[in-house]
């Protein structure tokens, strides 16, 4: 495998080495990895959503570094619009939600990609919309009538994957562990987000296992499964900010955690809002930065913070994490 840290031109893992790695695997892994290799040849289209491109450039870049480092055929899904937010549009009119979400589904189908979401809200909107339309032909017909005017059509012949599924099921946790060259000596709290738990704890477990693979120590808190309060903000802002997002960030500070780790851009939006409200309306500086799982993966794979612009557009600086990384690098260099 070619090492990449410090080089913005990403080297994708050589498949001959992948073949070598597979020769050394335990026999019972064969079937799973065979399936994984088949999936890997498929083209993934990453759906950015609304929040990530505008507020989380570090997460966007880190996600691409990680996905390509792991050998995935991973590119942007292009020509996307808002997912559309199911928490807003479903209560307005569930048929409108189906119709508007249908645009992204039809675009993904046309682009012949596996649509990948890392924002739980986007994932649940696309996934549940597709399931509903595939199960109810009259609704599929209704959506297609609306799409036709825009020159689009949807057959439902596509796959929606959460980025955690891609990492855990398609790449595999062993390969992720093997890619970690610089285990992170950080203590973190984590927030998985409600929409990743709607269909059971599978994604929650993937999140924890992948996060642990980076070497971090996960600090459990009583609020790990609590909602970030994003949708509650519309009707009860005080509870949403101070009793949901805020309490998690306060706890991370109490635990002296290096950061609060998230995967969902929708949740990130809410945490960012909470940071602003605490500062502007209460004069309180929340100190534990909110970091994306992809950033920690990238760092543990040997990338440097500057490879994905870790310091830019951060309401809470990530200086503490970067200092710790630098210290570790110095120790490594000193030990040589």
Partner 1 sequence: MEEVKSWKKLLEAGQKVTESNRKEEERIYPLRREFNPVAPDIAKSALKRDFEVGLVYPVDESVEKDRELSGLKRRPPTAHLFKEALERKRKILEGAGIMKEMGYEKDSGKFKY
Q: Which of residues 59-98 bind partner 1 (CB under 8 A)?
A: 60-61, 76, 78-82, 84-85, 88, 92-93, 96
Spatial separation of the C-alpha atoms in residues 252 and 10, rounded to whole Å: 34
- Within 241-280, which residues bind partner 1 (CB under 8 A)? 241-242, 273, 276-277, 280
Taking the CA atoms of residue 18, residue 21, residue 25 and residue 27 in that order, the dihedral angle to the nearest 10 degrees is 50
Residues whose CB falls within 8 Å of the CB of residue 204, separated by 6 or more in sequence, listed in order: 192, 196, 197, 225
Closest contact distance (angstroms) between CB of 112 and partner 1 is 16
CB of 8 to partner 1, least distance (A): 6
Please tell me what DSSP assigns to residue 193. -
Asked if 107 interacts with partner 1 (CB under 8 A), we say: yes
**In angstroms, what CA-CA distances link 157 with 99, 118, 177?**
17, 21, 33
Distance CA 231, CA 173 (A): 32
Sign of CA dihedral 250, 251, 257, 261: negative
- Least Å from the CB of residue 238 to partner 1: 4
> Site size for partner 1, by CB under 8 A?
52
Structure tokens at 125: 């909107």
Q: Work out the end-to-end distance of the chain between its first and last CA atoms, rounded to an integer number of angstroms.
A: 21
Q: Which of these segments, 24-32, 100-108, 175-183, 285-293, binds partner 1 (CB under 8 A)? A: 100-108
- Cα(228)–Cα(194) distance, integer angstroms: 8
Q: Which of 13, 48, 70, 325 binds partner 1 (CB under 8 A)?
A: 48
150 contributes a contact to partner 1 by CB under 8 A: yes
Please tell me whether residue 231 binds partner 1 under the rule CB under 8 A. no
List contacts with partner 1 (CB under 8 A): 8, 48-51, 53-55, 57-58, 60-61, 76, 78-82, 84-85, 88, 92-93, 96, 99-100, 103, 107, 146-147, 149-152, 233-238, 241-242, 273, 276-277, 280-281, 307-309, 312-313
């Amino acid at each position: 495998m070619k090492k990449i840290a410090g080089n913005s031109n990403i080297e994708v893992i050589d498949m001959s080495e992948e073949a070598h790695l597979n020769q050394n695997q335990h026999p019972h892994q064969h079937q799973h990895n065979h399936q994984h290799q088949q999936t890997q040849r498929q083209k993934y289209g990453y759906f950015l959503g609304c929040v990530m491109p505008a507020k989380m450039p570090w997460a966007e870049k880190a996600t691409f570094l990680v996905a390509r480092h792991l050998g995935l055929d991973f590119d942007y899904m292009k020509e996307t619009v808002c997912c559309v937010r199911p928490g807003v549009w479903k209560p307005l009119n569930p048929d409108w939600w189906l119709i508007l979400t249908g645009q992204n589904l039809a675009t993904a189908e046309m682009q012949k990609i596996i649509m990948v979401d890392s924002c739980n809200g986007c994932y649940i909107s696309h996934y549940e919309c597709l399931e509903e339309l595939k199960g109810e032909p009259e609704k599929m017909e209704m959506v297609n009538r609306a799409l036709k005017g825009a020159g689009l059509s949807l057959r439902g012949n596509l796959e929606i994957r959460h980025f955690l599924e891609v990492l855990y099921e398609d790449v595999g946790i062993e390969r992720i562990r093997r890619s970690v060259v610089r285990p992170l000596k950080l203590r973190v709290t984590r927030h998985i987000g409600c929409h990743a738990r709607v269909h059971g704890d599978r994604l929650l477990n993937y999140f924890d296992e992948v996060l642990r693979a980076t070497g971090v120590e996960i600090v459990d808190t009583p609020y790990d499964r609590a909602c970030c309060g994003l949708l509650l903000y519309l009707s009860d802002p005080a509870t949403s900010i101070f009793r949901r997002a805020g309490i998690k960030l306060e706890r991370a500070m109490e635990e002296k955690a290096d950061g609060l780790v998230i995967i969902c851009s929708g949740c990130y939006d809410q945490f960012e809002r909470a940071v602003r409200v605490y500062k502007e309306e209460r004069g309180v500086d929340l100190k534990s930065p909110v970091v994306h799982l992809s950033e920690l993966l990238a760092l543990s794979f040997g990338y440097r913070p500057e490879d994905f612009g870790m310091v830019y557009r951060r309401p809470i600086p990530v200086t503490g994490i970067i200092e710790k990384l630098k210290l570790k690098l110095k120790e490594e260099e000193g030990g040589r």
